[in-house]
Amino acid sequence: MADAKITACLLGVVVAFLSCAEATNYTVGGSEGWNIPSSAGAYSDWASQHTFEVGDVLVFDFDSSNNDVADVTKEDYDACNTDSPFTVLSTSPANYSLDTAGDYYFLCTTAGHCSQGQKLAITVTEPPSGPTSSPPGSPPPPSPTTGATTSLSSVSSSLGVARLVLLMSILMGLLSQLFS
Ligand SMILES: [Cu+2]
């Protein structure tokens, strides 16, 4: 019985380890959701508490009758200009997939909401499990640290494989002891 428990624990460790590489859904603003925040810096604070990687998804949860979410340029983000968004998502919850590395800017296009702090800027990096290949001909992501990010990704990827091999050897050793 004890052996079965140990095996179950070990399997749990492996599952937790492997799930590190999976995409994450982030509900913007946490339980507060996406609306005029109580403090103007609320979404900056929220963003600073998370690390966003390619493949992750932002979930905007808001009252659709009075809000939406639009991705915009940095200039429009800074100026709260709602006239030329790339896309506007007006049905909640709105999922926004972070498909490429770079900087992303969002705001609510309802008059006055952005200037009261309903705006979000985030930086998305390549996941450590390896860079996703960009389609040929597409411009590189607007990041001044592309070179450094890529080499770091390679290092992290090698480390990840080494960790996995180590973990598996430990696991095999323990299992062979259990069943000997
Ligand atoms: Cu709004």
Give the chain's domains with CATH numbers.
2-178 (2.60.40.420)
Q: Where are the beta strands (DSSP E) in the chain?
A: 25-27, 52-53, 57-60, 69-71, 87-89, 94-97, 102-107, 119-125
Report the pLDDT value the prediction gives residue 8, as an integer from 0 to 100: 53
From residue 103, alpha-carbon distances to 29, 120, 122 in Å are 18, 11, 6
Which residues are within 5 Å of ligand 1 (an ion), measured at CB? Answer: 67, 108, 110, 113, 118
- The tens-digit pLDDT sequence of the chain (180 residues) is 456 555 554 444 444 444 455 789 999 999 999 999 999 999 999 999 999 999 999 999 999 999 999 999 999 999 999 999 999 999 999 999 999 999 999 999 999 999 999 999 999 999 876 555 545 444 544 544 443 443 434 444 444 444 444 445 544 554 455 455
The pLDDT, as a whole number, for residue 128 is: 74
CA of 74 to the centre of ligand 1 (A): 18
What pLDDT is attached to residue 5? Answer: 56
Burial of 95 (0-12, 13-18, 19+ CB in 10 A): exposed
